[in-house]
């Protein structure tokens, strides 16, 4: 077995796929940052709110006022450098750090897509993506057109994990048998041309979409791996992601995935892509023949391989951490994030906080819009960790105003996947007596239904 | 491999297509007619309400003119009655923050209470004011007239003195007159605008944040939660403060109308939800019928019935209150907070269950989703 592993690690392959991936990734990320900025979302999401929801243990990561723009600028610039393959190692590390910082500034905006980018850019910090067709190679006057095969395979592995885990998460009774939440989402797309008034309103279509979504996620990495099904799989990838782009507001993610899955193709395809780029930038005069072609050996392999081994072990285990919590995952969301659970829930909530003076018994309710943006309020209302964090913030606010002996209770209701709304948090529990931790939150009321599945 | 997968997928599709109809709800090809919904809202609810309000405000101007010409007890009483009649209809109009009403912040210029007495007094003193200015939102509209008609003194004789023998009587008359004219002018503006806006409104059936359905559903929920639940009951009852604030009731200076106005508002909410025409008992497409339609796909609980039941419960609570909420708060505030709780339960049904069911884009940040 060790021999097999050593043999595998020594296999060399053409460097073009990784270079194309690097270029595509850099361009996509630059475009994402520009898009985000131009929509005014930096202002809206990170500067306007008075209060930001932090991740547990990472409370020190906050927007830094107008300087937040600087982080986005650095992030965009490093993405450009990544695309160019210029000072690649510094650029990709800078990108990973700045992007992850942005992602962690406020968990209101948590998206699996952002987490995917963070994880992927972390992985790319260890990969020789600048050895071929890059400015770095041009400056060094030599490039490596052969790189270890594992460097490309680990990107395929990460993509595979994302898809398969997303597919596994769909194996639950709400998704497969009730077609929830698609049954809520799709009929509301009545204003789509052609299919809005017909297909989108049909129950069989909702169920078919649910099942094919699950099958797509579970099988697509394998269909992409096998040469005979690869083109068919790629057509599916394009169709699936374009279709979800039409249906849902998911920004750049579909394009990132379409470009990302190109890495499954043989190097011939990538050489053709590079030739197109060479054609576009003929002034660049960077011709493969001008440079020495060498085989690249990863120099710190002894350090990098264990790190990546640990990284993938975490990736494989983390999504299953929910089994450590006794209550329904969708209801409490304990262990929900960072697990490739995409589009599984339509969850809406309502939370009204009551500030009680423990001594006099006097109480008053809080107007959430005085403290939170509508987006923050929406996210807060259905997620327990948000509710607790907000209660602690309210405590600080009202203590500073001179209120004493404060207790905070919440009157909250949540509706999940088309079920009727039910009380969510125990209204008799003083939230200020609770502390955020990774332990089970016993102040969440139990879910009154059952969702079977993984 | 390739063919096998295709066959497998095809098989699953076919199996599902066949089995899904076993639920007995496979036939949902008939679509909910959103154009009919918007048309009902426009033609049978919104426009007739504005027309009625506009007529009553025209009457208010007539009664005001009579009062200004000869201020006495008779003209004052007529002026007051007209104010009250218009104020009741206003409860139906306040929720429609769309079109011209949204552009000019109609509701802010008509019904911000408690009114700001010192702003009113300084306006009267200075004789130079722009009633449309945002700073004057709490010195105009129905609440300001409430003060001018009932709040200047404790009894009617003393109130009439302000308009007759007082050294600044002409200033008081002018302000009462300007307030009334302004209310009429705004209402006229909004009402006339609907003749052209109607078509735009009905055509805009998109499910976007600017779609008519989306905007009006938002307006409706906002009115119920803030305009009715919080402003009329919750704030005076002290739900949002450490102590009750009985001086913050609607129609504070006349004082015996807060229950009647809240009842009108509750009726407005219920009628809108059920699509009942303003001038008759005919109902047409509405949020209730939309929920019923969606339920044929979803097979969930009958949400429209739950919501209507909760509205009735809340109304029963309101019925049990004193005509004057100020008196109710001072004698037994528990009944007020119980009413608030009953109203609150419907907020949950509207904001959580109904919004989830109709899944329309509401005006949250248009950021990306997962």
Distance CA B332, CA A216 (A): 62
Find the CB nearest A185 among B238, B241, B359: B359
CB contact (8 A) between residue A250 and residue B16: no
Same domain, B293 and B226: yes
Query: Do the domain assignments include residue B15?
Result: no
Residue with tokens 């297509």: B17
CB contact (8 A) between residue B370 and residue A113: yes
pLDDT of residue B361: 65
Query: Do the domain assignments include residue B136?
Result: yes
Stronger pLDDT, B8 or A424, i.e. the higher one: A424
Report yes or no: B213 at the A interface, CB cutoff 8 Å: no
Same domain, B191 and B240: no
Pairing outcome for strands A422-423 and A406-416: antiparallel
ipTM associated with this complex: 0.84
pLDDT of residue B300: 66
Examine the pLDDT at B107 and tell me if it is beyond 80.
Answer: yes
Residue ending a domain, among B204, B220, B248, is: B204
Examine the pLDDT at A290 and tell me if it is beyond 80.
Answer: no
Distance CA A336, CA A344 (A): 11
Distance CA B203, CA B354 (A): 23
Q: How far is residue A337 from each of residues A170, A326, A415, B78, measured CA to CA in Å? A: 15, 17, 19, 65
Closest CA to A363 of A397, A400, A410, A433: A410
Query: Do the domain assignments include residue B369?
Result: no
Closest CA to A339 of A329, A349, A328: A329
Tokens of A91: 């650029």
Same domain, B120 and B54: yes
How many C-beta neighbours within 10 Å does residue B256 have? Answer: 14
Distance CA B63, CA B71 (A): 11
Q: How far is residue B54 from each of residues A447, B61, B164, B190, B262, measured CA to CA in Å? A: 51, 11, 29, 9, 21
Query: Do the domain assignments include residue B4?
Result: no
Instruction: Say what percent of chain B tops pLDDT 70.
Output: 88
Instruction: Say what percent of chain A tops pLDDT 90.
Output: 83
Looking at the structure of chain B, the number of domains it has is 2
Best residue of A103, A171, A204 to probe chain B, by most B CBs closer than 10 Å = A204
Q: Find, in chain B, the residue whose alpha carbon is nearest to that of A177.
A: B20
Model confidence pLDDT, tens digit, residues A154-178: 999 999 999 999 999 999 999 999 9
Distance CA B132, CA B139 (A): 10
- The nearest CA of chain B is from the CA of A421 a distance in Å of 6
Span B134-138, mean pLDDT?
95
Best residue of A254, A364, A398, A449 to probe chain B, by most B CBs closer than 10 Å = A364
CB contact (8 A) between residue A208 and residue B26: no
Query: Do the domain assignments include residue B356?
Result: yes
Q: Which residues in chain B (281-320) have CB-CB distances under 8 A to chain A?
A: 294, 297-298, 300-301, 303, 306
Task: State the sign of the Cα–Cα–Cα–Cα dihedral B285, B286, B289, B290.
Answer: positive
Instruction: Say what percent of chain A tops pLDDT 70.
Output: 98
Same domain, B59 and B192: yes
CB contact (8 A) between residue B25 and residue A184: no
Angle at B156 between CA B150 and CA B162, to 5 degrees: 80
DSSP A158-217: HHHHHHHHHHHHT-BHHHHHS-TTHHHHGGGGTTSTTTTTTGGG-HHHHHHHHHHHHHHH
Stronger pLDDT, B4 or B315, i.e. the higher one: B315
Q: Find, in chain A, the residue whose alpha carbon is nearest to that of B341.
A: A411
pLDDT of residue A299: 82
Distance CA B183, CA B176 (A): 11
Query: Do the domain assignments include residue B367?
Result: no
Same domain, B151 and B261: no
Angle at A269 between CA A264 and CA A274, to 5 degrees: 115
Span A1-13, mean pLDDT?
87
Instruction: Say what percent of chain B tops pLDDT 90.
Output: 81
pLDDT of residue B16: 39
Q: Find, in chain B, the residue whose alpha carbon is nearest to that of A233.
A: B2
Sheet holding A12-14, edge to edge: A12-14, A142-148, A292-295
Best residue of B340, B366, B368 to probe chain A, by most A CBs closer than 10 Å = B368
Query: Do the domain assignments include residue B268?
Result: yes
Same domain, B70 and B198: yes
Residue ranges per domain, chain A?
A: 2-322, 346-433
Evaluate whether A17 touches A267 at the Cβ level (below 8 Å). Answer: yes
Span B224-232, mean pLDDT?
96
- The nearest CA of chain B is from the CA of A352 a distance in Å of 10
CB contact (8 A) between residue A250 and residue B13: no
Examine the pLDDT at B235 and tell me if it is beyond 70.
Answer: yes
Residue with tokens 């980018």: A117
Same domain, B289 and B225: yes
Residue A192: pLDDT band by 50, 70, 90 thresholds? confident
Distance CA A206, CA A187 (A): 9
Residue B8: pLDDT band by 50, 70, 90 thresholds? very low
Top-ranked range on mean pLDDT: pick from A298-302, B29-33, B208-212, B264-268:
B264-268
DSSP A22-44: HHHHHHHHHHHHHHHHHTTHIII
CB contact (8 A) between residue B353 and residue A421: yes
Stronger pLDDT, A384 or B367, i.e. the higher one: A384
pLDDT of residue B5: 45
Average the pLDDT over each of A144-148, A183-187, A277-281 and give the range with the smallest value.
A277-281
Distance CA A397, CA A405 (A): 13
Same domain, B173 and B284: no
Question: Residues with Cβ < 8 Å from A132, sequence gap 6 or more?
Answer: A15, A16, A18, A19, A143, A144, A145, A147
Best residue of B9, B16, B34, B205 to probe chain A, by most A CBs closer than 10 Å = B16
Chain B positions touching A112 (Cβ under 8 A) are 370
Same domain, B247 and B110: no
Tokens of A420: 């009727």
Q: What backbone phi and psi angles, to 5 degrees, belong to A297? A: -120, 125
Q: Which residues in chain B (7-46) have CB-CB distances under 8 A to chain A?
A: 9, 12-13, 16-17, 20-21, 23, 25-26, 28-29, 31-32, 34
Question: Residues with Cβ < 8 Å from B280, sequence gap 6 or more?
Answer: none
Q: Find, in chain B, the residue whose alpha carbon is nearest to that of A209.
A: B13
Burial B190-214 (b: 16+ CB within 10 A, else e): bbebbeebbeebbebbebeeebbbb
pLDDT of residue B20: 36
Chain B positions touching A413 (Cβ under 8 A) are 348, 352
Distance CA B241, CA B5 (A): 64
Specify the DSSP element, H or E, that contains B81: helix B73-93
- CA atoms within a 13 Å half-sphere pointing along the CA-CB vector of B303: 32
Find the CB nearest B363 among A229, A249, A374: A374
Span A100-108, mean pLDDT?
97
Same domain, B251 and B353: yes
Residue ending a domain, among B158, B178, B204, is: B204
CATH code for position B75: 1.20.1420.20
Distance CA B238, CA B233 (A): 9
CB contact (8 A) between residue A184 and residue B368: no
Same domain, B79 and B223: no
Residue B1: pLDDT band by 50, 70, 90 thresholds? very low
Residue ending a domain, among B204, B225, B253, is: B204
CB contact (8 A) between residue A201 and residue B297: yes
CB contact (8 A) between residue B356 and residue A229: no
In terms of residues, how long is chain B?
370
Best residue of A211, A365, A411, A419 to probe chain B, by most B CBs closer than 10 Å = A365
Find the CB nearest A215 among B9, B344, B358: B9
| Mean of pLDDT over chain A | 93
Range of the domain at B175: 32-204
Q: What share of chain A is helix, strand, coil (3-state, %, to 5)?
A: 60, 10, 30
Evaluate whether B358 touches A346 at the Cβ level (below 8 Å). Answer: no
Same domain, B74 and B218: no
């Amino acid at each position: 077995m060790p021999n097999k592993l050593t043999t595998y690690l020594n296999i060399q392959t053409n460097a073009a796929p990784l270079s194309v991936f690097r270029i595509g990734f850099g361009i996509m990320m630059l475009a994402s940052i520009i898009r985000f900025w131009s929509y005014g979302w930096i202002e809206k999401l990170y500067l306007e709110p008075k209060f930001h929801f932090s991740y547990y243990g990472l409370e020190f990561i906050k927007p830094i006022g107008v300087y937040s723009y600087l982080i986005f600028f650095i992030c965009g610039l490093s993405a450009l450098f990544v695309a160019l393959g210029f000072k690649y190692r510094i650029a990709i590390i800078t990108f990973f750090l700045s992007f992850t910082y942005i992602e962690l500034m406020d968990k209101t905006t948590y998206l699996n897509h952002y987490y995917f980018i963070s994880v992927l850019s972390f992985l790319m910090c260890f990969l020789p993506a600048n050895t071929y067709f890059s400015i770095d190679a041009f400056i060094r006057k030599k490039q490596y057109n052969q790189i270890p095969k594992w460097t490309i395979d680990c990107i395929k592995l990460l993509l595979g994990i994302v898809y398969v885990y997303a597919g596994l998460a769909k194996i639950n009774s709400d998704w497969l048998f009730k077609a929830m939440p698609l049954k809520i989402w799709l009929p509301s797309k009545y204003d789509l041309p052609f299919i809005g008034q017909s297909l989108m309103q049909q129950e069989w279509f909702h169920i078919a979409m649910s099942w094919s979504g699950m099958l797509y996620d579970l099988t697509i990495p394998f269909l992409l791996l096998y040469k005979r099904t690869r083109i068919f799989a790629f057509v599916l990838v394009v169709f699936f992601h374009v279709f979800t782009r039409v249906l849902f507001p998911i920004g750049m993610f579909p394009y990132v995935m379409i470009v990302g899955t190109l890495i499954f193709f043989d190097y011939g395809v990538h050489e053709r892509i590079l030739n197109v780029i060479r054609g576009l930038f003929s002034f660049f005069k960077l011709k493969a023949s001008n440079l020495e072609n060498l085989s690249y050996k990863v120099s710190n392999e002894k350090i990098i391989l264990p790190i990546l081994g640990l990284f993938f072990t975490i990736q494989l285990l983390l999504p299953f951490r929910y089994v450590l919590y006794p209550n329904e995952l969708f209801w409490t969301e304990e262990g929900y994030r960072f697990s490739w659970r995409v589009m599984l829930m339509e969850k809406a909530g309502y939370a009204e906080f009551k500030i009680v003076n423990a001594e006099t018994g006097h109480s008053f309710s809080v107007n959430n819009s005085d403290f939170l943006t509508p987006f923050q309020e929406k996210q807060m209302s259905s997620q327990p960790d948000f509710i607790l964090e907000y209660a602690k913030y309210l405590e600080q606010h009202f203590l500073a105003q001179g209120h004493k002996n404060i207790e905070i209770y919440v009157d909250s209701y949540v509706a999940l996947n088309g079920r009727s709304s039910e009380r969510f948090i125990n209204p008799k529990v003083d939230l200020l007596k609770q502390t955020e931790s990774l332990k089970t939150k016993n102040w969440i009321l139990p879910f009154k239904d059952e969702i079977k599945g993984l | 491999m390739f063919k096998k997968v295709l066959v497998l997928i095809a098989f699953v599709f076919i199996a599902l297509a066949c089995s899904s109809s076993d639920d007995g709800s496979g036939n949902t090809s008939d679509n909910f007619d959103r154009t009919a919904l918007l048309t009902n809202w426009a033609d049978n609810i919104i426009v007739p309400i504005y027309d009625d309000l506009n007529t009553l405000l025209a009457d208010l101007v007539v009664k005001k003119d009579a009062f200004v010409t000869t201020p006495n007890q008779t003209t004052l009483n007529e002026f007051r009655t007209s104010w009250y009649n218009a104020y009741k209809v206003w409860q139906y109009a306040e929720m429609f923050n769309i079109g011209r009403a949204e552009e000019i912040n109609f509701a802010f210029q008509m019904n911000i209470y408690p009114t700001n007495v010192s702003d009113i007094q300084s306006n009267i003193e200075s004789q130079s004011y722009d009633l449309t200015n945002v700073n004057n939102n709490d010195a105009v509209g129905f609440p300001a007239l409430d003060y001018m008609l009932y709040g200047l003194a404790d009894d009617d004789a003393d109130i009439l003195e302000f308009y007759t023998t007082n050294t600044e009587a002409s200033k008081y008359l002018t302000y009462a007159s300007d307030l009334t004219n302004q209310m009429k002018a705004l209402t006229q503006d909004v009402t006339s605008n609907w003749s052209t806006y109607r078509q735009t409104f009905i055509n805009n059936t998109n499910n976007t944040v600017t779609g008519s359905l989306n905007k009006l559903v938002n307006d409706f929920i906002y009115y119920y939660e803030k305009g009715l639940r919080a402003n009329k009951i919750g704030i005076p009852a002290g739900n949002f403060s450490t102590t009750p604030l009985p001086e913050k009731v609607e129609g504070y200076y006349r004082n015996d109308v807060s229950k009647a106005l809240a009842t009108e508002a509750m009726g407005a909410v219920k009628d809108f939800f059920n699509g009942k025409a303003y001038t008759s008992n005919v109902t047409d497409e509405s949020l209730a019928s939309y929920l019923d339609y969606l339920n044929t796909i979803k097979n969930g609980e009958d949400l429209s019935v739950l919501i209507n039941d909760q509205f009735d419960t809340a109304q029963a609570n309101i019925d049990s209150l004193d005509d004057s909420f100020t008196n109710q708060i001072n004698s037994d505030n528990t009944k007020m907070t119980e009413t608030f709780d009953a109203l609150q339960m419907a907020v949950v049904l509207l904001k959580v269950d109904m919004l989830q069911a109709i899944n329309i884009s509401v005006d949250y940040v248009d950021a990306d989703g997962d």
